[in-house]
Amino acid sequence: MSEEINKQMTATVISHFGNEVLINNQANENIRAKVKASLPALVCGDKVIWQENKLHEAIVIELLPRHGLLTRSTQYSAEKLIAANVDIAFIITSHKPAFKTGLLDRYVAACELAEIQVAILFNKIDTISDEELANYKSILKPYQDIGYPVHYISAKKQLGIDSFKQTIHNKTGVLVGQSGVGKSSILRALFPEANPKIGDISIKTNKGKHTTTYSELYALDDHSFLIDSPGIREFGLNIDEPESLAYGFREFQAFLGQCQFRDCKHTTEPKCAISQAVKENKITQQRWDSYKGILASLSE
Ligand SMILES: Nc1nc2c(ncn2[C@@H]2O[C@H](COP(=O)(O)OP(=O)(O)OP(=O)(O)O)[C@@H](O)[C@H]2O)c(=O)[nH]1
Ligand SMILES: [Mg+2]
Ligand SMILES: [Zn+2]
């Protein structure tokens, strides 16, 4: 047996299919690898250790500790992995498919709970009037007020792309959002050599056609990565304890612990510091409604 065969090397998971993964090794080559059966499910962005077996097949033998694990729950599984080791999530929204505040709040909460930085991108500004743009700016202003950067961009016309490009430097970013909002188009605008598939919007339904079907990681340089993810219709939050949901709403933090009841759910309880903050316009009614909507959906 040659020395090479026992050598253990690190790599990053680019994508996964069934029980095989595509990994990017230290020489920046993409190789298909099998995964040791005892390992948990791997996901795009995972850092792993692999080695060659006697048949010169690549085998992933260890999963290195993760940070920034973005997950969601679906009707089939409580924890569906989206991407690992994510530093920043770009939440993409647009006019078509229609902007959905509730979905945005779910993504934002999932990122907060996973300690992932958030940037909101409103894409396709080339397709709307100045008046419509001003309206979206007023809808998104509350997010800026609580510290989330919002960028108004057009992937197609290359507008505003430079405004957030540098934020991926030395980081791993993920593009998330509904099908058809332009995630893959933004990736291509940032990085023309990456050639992700770009789909159409259905004329009938104004919805995307689920063109990207699995998450894939693209190396922008040796230390900067961007993950394109498939669009989803509904984003179920993966939360064990409903009490932790309030921590997904960053502007609630200053008021938590000040309610009359220690187990206050911040919905209809008297002397609730959150509902008081809403009355005093320190928290928006819309964000509180989102919180209550998500909380109700957790017990369904
Ligand atoms: N006018 C305009 N169209 C855009 C822009 N960005 C994307 N599109 C169009 O929107 C459609 C969907 O784009 P994709 O990049 O495939 O969207 P996606 O979010 O990756 O969709 P899924 O992979 O299905 O989740 C395509 O027809 C794009 O050409 C933009 O800035 N302006
Ligand atoms: Mg796509
Ligand atoms: Zn309360």
Q: What is the DSSP letter of 94?
A: -
242-298 folds as Ribonucleotide Reductase Protein R1; domain 1 (1.10.40)
Confidence of residue 100 (pLDDT cuts 50, 70, 90): very high
How far apart CA 8 and CA 24 sit, in angstroms, is: 14
Nearest atom, ligand 1, residue 210 CA: 24
Least confident segment among 170-174, 208-212, 262-266? 208-212
35-51: average pLDDT? 95
233, burial (CB in 10 Å: exposed 0-12, middle 13-18, buried 19+):
exposed
Segment 21-32 shows an average pLDDT of 88
Reported confidence tier of residue 87, pLDDT bands at 50, 70, 90:
very high
From-to residues of CATH 1.10.40.50 in the chain: 242-298
**CA dist., res. 104 & res. 111, Å (int):** 11
- pLDDT at residue 5 in the model: 59
What CATH number labels 70-228? Answer: 3.40.50.300
Q: What residue type is 290 in one-letter code?
A: S
Which atom of ligand 1 is nearest to 179's Cα? Answer: 25
Helices (H) and strands (E) in the chain, counts: 7, 13
Give mean pLDDT, residues 139-164: 96
Mean pLDDT, rounded, of the chain: 92
Which residue intervals of the chain are DSSP H helices? 3-6, 101-113, 130-145, 162-165, 183-190, 273-279, 285-298
pLDDT score at 247:
96
- Stronger pLDDT, 19 or 120, i.e. the higher one: 120
Residue 239, judged by CB atoms within 10 A of its CB (0-12, 13-18, 19+), counts as: buried
Using left for φ > 0, alpha for ψ between -120 and 50, and beta otherwise, residue 194 falls in: beta
The CB density around residue 92, as the number of other CB atoms within 10 Å, is 27
C-alpha of residue 229 to centroid of ligand 2, in Å: 7
Instruction: Using a pLDDT cut of 70, give the percent of the chain over it.
Output: 96
CB count in 10 Å sphere of residue 258: 13
Q: Does residue 234 or residue 106 have the better pLDDT?
A: 106
Q: Within the chain, which residue ranges are assigned CATH 2.40.50.140?
A: 3-63
Is 3-63 CATH 2.40.50.140? yes
**What local confidence, expressed as pLDDT, does residue 206 receive?**
72
Answer whether 94 contacts ligand 1 (Cβ < 6 A). no
Residue 203: pLDDT above 80?
no
Task: Give the least confident one: 147-156, 188-197, 229-238.
Answer: 188-197
Report d(CA 87, CA 68) in Å as an integer: 6
Averaged pLDDT, 273-283 = 98
**Shortest-distance atom of ligand 1 to CA 228:** 20
- Joined together, the tokens standing for residue 68 give 């920034």
Among protein residues, the one with the nearest Cα to ligand 1's atom 26 is 200
Q: Considering the chain, tell me which residue range(s) the CATH 3.40.50.300 domain(s) occupy.
A: 70-228
> Quick check: 189 pLDDT over 70?
yes
**CA-CA distance, 23 to 245, in Å (whole number)?**
34
State the pLDDT at residue 50.
96
Q: Taking 60 as the threshold, does the pLDDT of residue 4 lie above it?
A: no
Name the percent of the chain lying above pLDDT 90: 74
201 CB within 6 A, ligand 1: yes
- Is residue 65 predicted with pLDDT exceeding 50? yes
In the predicted structure, residue 137 carries a pLDDT above the cut 90:
yes
Question: How many C-beta neighbours within 10 Å does residue 204 have?
Answer: 6
Res. 171: pLDDT tops 60 = yes
Q: How far is the CA of 271 from the centre of ligand 3 (A)?
A: 7
One DSSP character per residue, 132-157 reads: HHHHHHHHHHHHHHTT--EEE-BTTT
Whole-structure pTM value = 0.94
